[in-house]
C-alpha cells in the first residue's frame, strides 16, 4: 500500500495597486505564479508570501503603497507570513531605498523582472538576506500574453505600448517606465485573440499615450491601422480607446472610429489644463486653440461621442485668473466625465523645482470648486438621458432581478455605472434598457 505523503505547497497572496497598466502587470505575474505550481490565496493572514505590486506615480499612490507594505510586514511579524515582496512602479522608482523606508521587506522587484516573479519567490523563500531585483533601466517591450485576469472575465485591458517619450514637467513615468516602445502589431493581435477566446467581449486599449502608437516604428496612422485589425476579431463586441493625448489625433483616426461598428464612441483625452501659459510650463505639446478645435471636430464627426478628461490644478504659478479660465473652459466643453487632481511636486521632476508653488489649501479648494462645476454638468447630462434607450453590458448581479452594468459611455472602474432593474442576465451579456432616472452620477435603467 502506497504511503500518503503530504506535500507543502507555497501559498502567495497578491495585492494589486495602481492604474490599468499596473493591472496588466499584476495579471502577468499571477499567471507566472500559477504556472509555477504555487497556490494563489486571498488570505493575507496565512499566506507564505505577500506580493504588493505598487504604483509610484504621485504622492497619494506612494502613501497607499507604503501603507500596504507596512500592513504586510506587520502580518509577517505577528503571523505565519514568511516573506514580503514589493514589485511595480514604486520598486522601479525607489529601488534599495525601500529597504531604508520600511524595515522587513524581503525583496524589491523592478518592472523588467516581472516575468521572473515565480523564480524570485522561490529564491526569496530560501534567502536570509533582503535582495533587489532591478535593472538599471526598463527598456524592454513587454509581452502581455498569458494573463490571469483580475478584471471581470468579460472585460480586459489591452496594452499596446510601454513607456513614454513626452517630457511633461510634472511626470515621473518616463523615469520609471522608460522610453516609448510600441508592441509589434502581431503580438497585440495575438493577445487580443487570446483574451476574446477566453470570453472577453470588451477590450480597453491602454498605453501612456495611446495615440502615439507606431511612431517609434515610423508607422503612419499606427493606431488607426491597429484598431482596424483588432475589430476584425469575431466575438469582440466593444473596443474602447483610453489615454489619447490631444496632439495624437488626426482626421484619419477620427474617421476610422466614426465608421467602426465596434470601436465605442468614447474618448479619454487627458488635457491637464487649458491655459496656454500653464500648458507651456507643463511642457505639454498642446495649446488651448488646438484642444478646443479638437473637441469641436470630434463632436461634429461623432455626434453621440462621450468625452472624458483629466486635469491638474494648483500647478506652480497657476493664478486665480488661469484657474477661472479653466473653469470657464469646463463649462464650455461639458465633458461627460472628468478626473481632477491637485498638483504634487514629485522628486526628480522639473516642476518640483519651479518657483511659486501653490499652498495645499488653495490646491484643495480649487479641486473642490472644479469638481462642483463638473458635478452640475454630469447631473444635467444624466437628466437628459432619461427616457432614452441604451445597450448595456452586464458586469455583475446586485440581486436576483437587478444588476450593475455600463453603456458605451462608461469605462470600467473609473466612470459611473448603470443600475439595472428587472434584469437577471448573466455578466458579459448585452441587454437593451431604458433610462428611468439617475442617482447622482449613476443611471437608473430598466431592462426592456
Q: Which of 14-28, 42-56, 135-149, 201-215 has the lowest mean pLDDT?
A: 135-149
Mean pLDDT of 240-245: 96
Average pLDDT value over all residues in the chain: 95
Domain residue ranges of the chain, discontinuous segments joined by +: 11-133, 155-384, 389-447
Judged against a pLDDT cut of 60, whether residue 22 lies above it is answered with yes
pLDDT in tens, 158-216: 999 999 999 999 999 998 998 999 999 999 999 999 999 999 999 999 999 999 999 99
Spell out a b/e string for 260-280, using b for 16 or more CB atoms within 10 Å of the CB, else e: eebbbbbbbbbbbbbbbebbe
Q: Residue 133 — very low, low, confident or very high, per pLDDT cuts 50/70/90?
A: very high
pLDDT of res. 299: 97
| Overall CATH class of domain 155-384 | alpha beta
Q: What is the architecture, at CATH level 2, of domain 389-447?
A: Beta Barrel (2.40)
Q: Would you state the pLDDT for residue 137? A: 61
Residue 41: pLDDT band (50, 70, 90) is very high
pTM of the model: 0.94
Q: How far apart, in whole angstroms, are the C-alpha atoms of residue 183 and residue 176?
A: 18
Give the mean pLDDT of 11-40: 96
Q: Is the pLDDT of residue 379 over 50?
A: yes
pLDDT, residue 78, reads 86
pLDDT for the residue 8:
67
User: Is the four-CA dihedral 432, 434, 439, 440 of positive or negative sign?
Assistant: positive
At 219 the pLDDT is 92
> Given pLDDT bands bounded at 50, 70 and 90, which one contains residue 139?
low
Burial of residue 136, with CB atoms counted within 10 A of its CB: 0-12 exposed, 13-18 middle, 19 or more buried:
exposed
Residues in the chain: 448
Whether the per-residue pLDDT at 4 is higher than 50: the answer is no
Confidence at residue 142, expressed as pLDDT on a 0 to 100 scale: 78
Residue 306's pLDDT is 98
- Tell me the per-residue pLDDT of 390-433, one tens digit each, with 9 for 90 and over: 999 999 999 999 999 999 999 999 999 999 999 999 999 999 99
Q: Is the pLDDT of residue 2 over 80?
A: no
pLDDT (0 to 100) of residue 136:
65
Query: Cell 521632476, residue?
Result: 349
CATH architecture label of 11-133: 3-Layer(aba) Sandwich (3.40)
What pLDDT was estimated at residue 132?
96
The confidence score (pLDDT) of residue 5 equals 38
Tell me the CA distances in angstroms from 299 to 199, 258, 304, 336, one per residue in order: 33, 11, 7, 12
Determine the Cα–Cα distance for residues 39 and 35; give it in Å rounded to an integer: 10
Amino acid at each position: 500500500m502506497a504511503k500518503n505523503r503530504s506535500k507543502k505547497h507555497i501559498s502567495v497572496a497578491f495585492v494589486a495597486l495602481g492604474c490599468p497598466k499596473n493591472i496588466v502587470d499584476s495579471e502577468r505575474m499571477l499567471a507566472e505564479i500559477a504556472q509555477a505550481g504555487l497556490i494563489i490565496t486571498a488570505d493575507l493572514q496565512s499566506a507564505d508570501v505577500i506580493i504588493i505590486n505598487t504604483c509610484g506615480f504621485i504622492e497619494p499612490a506612494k502613501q497607499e503603497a507604503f501603507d500596504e507594505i507596512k500592513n504586510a510586514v506587520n502580518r509577517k511579524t505577528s503571523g505565519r507570513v514568511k516573506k514580503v515582496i514589493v514589485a511595480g512602479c514604486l520598486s522601479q522608482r525607489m529601488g534599495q531605498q525601500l529597504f531604508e523606508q520600511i524595515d522587513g521587506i524581503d525583496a524589491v522587484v523592478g518592472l523588467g523582472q516581472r516575468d521572473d516573479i515565480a523564480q524570485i519567490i522561490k529564491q526569496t523563500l530560501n534567502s536570509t538576506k533582503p535582495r533587489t531585483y532591478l535593472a538599471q533601466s526598463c527598456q524592454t517591450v513587454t509581452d502581455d500574453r498569458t494573463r490571469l485576469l483580475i478584471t471581470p472575465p468579460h472585460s480586459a485591458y489591452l496594452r499596446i505600448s510601454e513607456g513614454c517619450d513626452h517630457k511633461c514637467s510634472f511626470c515621473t513615468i518616463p523615469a520609471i517606465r522608460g522610453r516609448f516602445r510600441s508592441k509589434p502589431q502581431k503580438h497585440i493581435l495575438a493577445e487580443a485573440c487570446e483574451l476574446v477566446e477566453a470570453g472577453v467581449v470588451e477590450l480597453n486599449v491602454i498605453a501612456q499615450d495611446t495615440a502615439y502608437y507606431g511612431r517609434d516604428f515610423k508607422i503612419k496612422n499606427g493606431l488607426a491601422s491597429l484598431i482596424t485589425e483588432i475589430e476584425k476579431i469575431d466575438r469582440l463586441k466593444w473596443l474602447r480607446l483610453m489615454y489619447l493625448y490631444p496632439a495624437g489625433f488626426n482626421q484619419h483616426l477620427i474617421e476610422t472610429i466614426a465608421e467602426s461598428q465596434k470601436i465605442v464612441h468614447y474618448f479619454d483625452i487627458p488635457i491637464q489644463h487649458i491655459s496656454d501659459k500653464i500648458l507651456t510650463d507643463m511642457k505639454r505639446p498642446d495649446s488651448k486653440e488646438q484642444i478646443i478645435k479638437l473637441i469641436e471636430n470630434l463632436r461634429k464627426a461623432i455626434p453621440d461621442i462621450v468625452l472624458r478628461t483629466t486635469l491638474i490644478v494648483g500647478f506652480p504659478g497657476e493664478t486665480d485668473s488661469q484657474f477661472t479660465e479653466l473653469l470657464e473652459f469646463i463649462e464650455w466643453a461639458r465633458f461627460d466625465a472628468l478626473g481632477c487632481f491637485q498638483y504634487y511636486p514629485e522628486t526628480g521632476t522639473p516642476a518640483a523645482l519651479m518657483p511659486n508653488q501653490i499652498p495645499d489649501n488653495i490646491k484643495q479648494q480649487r479641486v473642490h470648486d472644479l469638481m462642483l462645476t463638473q458635478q452640475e454638468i454630469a447631473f444635467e447630462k444624466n437628466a437628459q438621458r432619461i427616457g432614452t434607450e441604451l445597450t448595456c453590458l452586464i458586469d455583475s448581479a446586485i440581486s436576483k432581478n437587478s444588476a450593475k452594468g455600463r453603456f458605451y459611455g462608461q469605462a470600467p472602474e473609473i466612470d459611473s455605472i448603470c443600475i439595472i432593474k428587472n434584469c437577471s442576465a448573466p455578466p458579459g451579456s448585452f441587454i437593451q434598457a431604458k433610462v428611468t432616472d439617475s442617482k447622482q452620477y449613476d443611471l437608473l435603467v430598466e431592462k426592456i
